Structure 1
């Protein structure tokens, strides 16, 4: 396995995940090691390094990604009363593949 969990595991093997949305361009699933009570990750299926590396060729994929982020966040907000949307950059980004966390609730014990 390489350093890109999304390209190496999640996208080619969605059956290993608890998927909430999948189409030709975007995958959304419950985080495999959730940090919050509700924690969903949304990723473009085509590799894009991060939000700060998005270029003109990525616009359609990012638009589709944000549409799914919006729908997932809306559902979480309706069900739990609140939602937050987060993406990490640079040293904060463990996997160098653009991904967005949609979460709600308190932090989970990370022991």
Structure 2
């Protein structure tokens, strides 16, 4: 069984994070091992494997997630002038928990 970093570490509180924004169902925080100078992760607080495993019943959560992604991305664009919004699927998705990266700058590693 694989470890779900977001459920097992972040949401459990085992790994402390620097929160950017939070709602009842969504958490945005600074990446614990950033790849970019500005690197924020947005996750649902409930386990969902990926964007393509969302159920029709998850529509409300998806809207809330995208609302948080929009807010955080807008803040980064206001501060930095640009950003990337990325979600990975399949072999590109290391952590099998739905999440978005909001990033600015040249990769630092």
Normalized against structure 1, the TM-score is what?
A: 0.92
- Structure 2 matches for 1:31-50, cutoff 5 A? 31-50=31-50
Aligned to 2:73: 73
For residue 15 of structure 1, report the CA deviation from its aligned partner: 7.2
- What CA distance in whole angstroms lies between the structure 2 residues aligned with 1:56 and 1:35? 33
- Structure 1 residues not aligned, in runs of 5+: none
- Structure 2 matches for 1:1-111, cutoff 5 A? 3-13=3-13, 16-108=16-108, 110=109
For residue 107 of structure 1, report the CA deviation from its aligned partner: 0.8
Structure 1 runs, 4 residues or longer, greater than 4 Å off: none
Deviations 1:15-39 (A, max 9, x none): 7101101221000000011011100
Normalized against structure 2, the TM-score is what?
A: 0.94
Contact 1:48 1:58 in 2 (8 A): no
- What CA distance in whole angstroms lies between the structure 2 residues aligned with 1:49 and 1:57? 15
For residue 70 of structure 1, report the CA deviation from its aligned partner: 0.1
For residue 76 of structure 1, report the CA deviation from its aligned partner: 0.1
More strand per residue: 1 or 2?
1
Q: CA-atom RMSD, angstroms?
A: 1.3
